[in-house]
Amino acid sequence: MNNDLDFLLAEIDLLKGELDLLNDRFDEQLLQTLAVEYSYQSNRIGGSTLTPVETEMAIKIGLTIPGKAMWEYLSAINHNQAIQFIREQVDEHALLSETLIKQIHAILLRSIDREQAGIYRTRALTPPPGHHAPPPASELPELVAEMLHWLRLEGPFVHPVIFAAEAHQRLLFLHPFIAANGTCARLLMNFILLQEGYPVLNLRGDAESCRAYFHALELAHNGTDKTPWFRLIAEHMMSEIKGLLGRVEPELSQE
């Protein structure tokens, strides 16, 4: 890591300290609103065309609109349930494990692809031009075990935001599932962040943000330089905390 990134992480920790003092302001309604926003953005990265309102209607009342694919509505519902699941796992002090990763993925593909839900892929994947090729399917159990061993070994010695970013990148590098790898990796990252007392990190799904996201990921995947990836995640965390402070602090001034 470089000095700029270290400084950014120090700023994040200062802001997190402010946010920790306002934890009682995050009631269930606000957490549900944030979960809908997160589901919308994360699924948008994955190709969903649902609007924020459509995402909310799918999650809250199961409403579907003609012209939209059923998988998009199911993805919204499943993602929201996956957020609740990782929150419950954090409350129960669950450990980072292969079982946890598979459980997250199984929720994401529930009612969409039951045969592949929570199951490692059994065939090779052909990446788009310029993207890294995931490892052979036969090596996945061993590689996931190695990834988890590294994370457990190194995790306590790195900043939580960097640790979460590493978990995200390393799982996505393996691409262990036939679909929903990115969504699963983002949820795994947020499981770690929640464990460490940080808020959910909501990566944006607009075109410009996606380009920056995938570019930084490819640099990390290819072993060129992980610093841009760490910086991108750290910058998003900074933005997330500032946004949450902006939501809560105005309420204090009105009391």
- Classify 155 as helix, strand or coil: helix
Distance, CA of 240 to chain centre: 13
**CATH placement of domain 3-248:** 1.10.3290.10
Catalytic member of 79, 175, 221, 236: 175
Q: Which of 116, 220, 206, 204 is nearest to 172 (CA)?
A: 220
Question: What is the reported pLDDT for 148?
Answer: 96
Distance, CA of 100 to chain centre: 14
> % helix / strand / coil in the chain, to the nearest 5?
70, 0, 30
Is the model's pTM score more than 0.75?
A: yes
Residue that is written with structure tokens 């995640």 in the block = 233
Contacts 24+ apart (CB under 8 A), 56-65: 59/35, 60/36
Question: What is the reported pLDDT for 1?
Answer: 57
Are the C-beta atoms of 108 and 123 separated by less than 8 Å?
A: no
For the stretch 20-69, pLDDT in tens is 998 877 888 888 999 999 999 999 999 999 999 999 999 999 888 788 99
Q: Which of 44, 90, 24, 71 is nearest to 202 (CA)?
A: 44
Q: Cβ atoms within 10 A of the Cβ of 197, count?
A: 12
Please give the average pLDDT of every successive group of 10 residues along the chain, which has 255 residues: 87 95 84 93 95 94 86 96 97 96 98 95 83 91 96 92 97 96 98 96 95 94 90 97 85 47
Name the residue ranges covered by the structural domains of the chain: 3-248
Q: For residue 34, what are the CA distances in angstroms to 28, 48, 74, 84, 160?
A: 10, 18, 18, 12, 21
Establish whether 175 is a catalytic residue.
Answer: yes
